[in-house]
Amino acid sequence: MSATTAEPAPVRGVAATGGVRVRKTADAIATVVLWAMASSIIVMLAAFIIYIGYLGWSALTPSFIFGVPKETTAGGGIGPEIYNSFYILILTLLFTTPIAVAAGVFLQEYARPGGFRSIVQFSAESLATVPSVVMGLFGLLVFVYTFHWKYTALGGALTLTVLNLPALLRVTQEALSSVPDSLREASMALGGTKWQTITRVVLPSAIGRLTTGIVLIAGRIFGETAALIFTAGLSVTANKPYDLNPFHTAETLAVHLWYTHSESVVPDVDRIGNGSALVLLIMVLAFNVGARLIGRALTKRFTGRSS
């Protein structure tokens, strides 16, 4: 039979009593605390944006945005740096996108679960956790030391390619897996080959999410610093600020922001810093918002649906 210990008194009534009130109070307190924590993040972010905007606004003169940097005197601009940021961005995407998309298509659509596939996944995951500064040193070893290139935009772009490959690979895989299998089956049932199915049905369906992911990663590439310090360098070509040669030394805007605040000796560090930070922030916002808009527009265009 049951033990002789008395069980708790049975509950009567429907209203909240002492013990229940305590628990409900705990519940209310916890809810308030969590709301406060979540709100504080929004407040903090807003504060950052306002702060950067407020400080940097006055620095955004045409001579700043398009002018060249100065080594030791005031009045330097960030024109070549902005140019280099875009240059390296485009170059990086040119390399990374085909490789990542091809690899993603292979992994999602062709590969059988097994050895090769797991090794690729593991490599991608590991590559994703490599700190960017380590990647920069890797680039230094390969391009500057082994290839004897010195600091080049191309070296920077190639380094960033390896750095962003895992991210873009994951974006591709997720975009592809979001396409329902029923579409693939329909295409095959109509006699399409696997390749036709992928290029004509799967990829167009996935293109919205894929592009959103690419643009978001582009935003991160734009702000990348540590991997570029040792590969693309800390200066710009002396007489040719808008150099098209991929082997030119290419300090980007992000690197410039760091450089002026750690090594450089120009007297108007604050102005340059404020302005650079604001330009970087504007670019990040642009990439973020643009990613969504482009993604949505492309999805609509290629599939007729809105998401």
Residues 61-90 that bind another protein (CB under 8 A): none
Among 59, 91, 93, 124, binds another protein (CB under 8 A): 124
Candidate residues 59, 206, 229, 236; the one interacting with another protein per rule CB under 8 A = 229
- CA distance linking residue 37 with residue 204, whole number of Å: 41
Q: Which two tokens stand for residue 176?
A: 């592809």
CA nearest neighbour of 288 among 196, 203, 218? 218
Q: CA separation (Å) from 121 to 108, 130, 181, 262?
A: 11, 15, 22, 38
Residues 207 and 210: their CA atoms lie apart, in Å, by 5
Q: How many residues bind another protein (CB under 8 A)?
A: 96
Among 164, 277, 295, 299, binds another protein (CB under 8 A): 277
H-helix segments, 223-268: 226-229, 253-262
- Of the candidate residues 50, 90, 94, 133, the single one contacting another protein (CB under 8 A): 133
Q: What letter represents residue 208's amino acid?
A: G
Q: Report the C-alpha gap between 100 and 164 in whole angstroms.
A: 9
Closest separation between CB of residue 132 and another protein, Å?
Answer: 7
CB 295 to another protein: min, Å:
13
The verdict on 132 binding another protein (CB under 8 A) reads yes
- By three-state DSSP, how is residue 223 classified? coil
Q: What's the min distance (Å) between Cβ of 244 and another protein?
A: 25
Select 11 or 244, whichever has its Cβ closest to another protein.
Answer: 11
Q: How far is the CB of 272 from another protein (least distance, A)?
A: 11
Give yes or no for residue 186 binding another protein (CB under 8 A): no
Site string for another protein, 1-30 (x = CB under 8 A): -xx-xxxx-xx-xxxxx-xx--xx-xx--x
Cβ nearer to another protein, comparing 120 with 303: 120
Radius of gyration of the chain (CA): 27
Q: How far is the CB of 46 from another protein (least distance, A)?
A: 8
Under the criterion CB under 8 A, does residue 282 sit at the interface with another protein? no
Q: How far is CA 271 from the centre of its chain?
A: 27
Looking at the Cβ atoms of 7 and 181, the one nearer to another protein is 7
Instruction: Give Cβ neighbours of residue 85 (< 8 Å, ≥ 6 apart).
Output: 222, 252, 253, 254, 283
Of residues 248 through 267, those in contact with another protein by CB under 8 A are 254-255, 257-258, 261-263
Contact 204, 300 (CB under 8 A): no
Binders of another protein in range 155-174 (CB under 8 A): 162, 165-166, 169
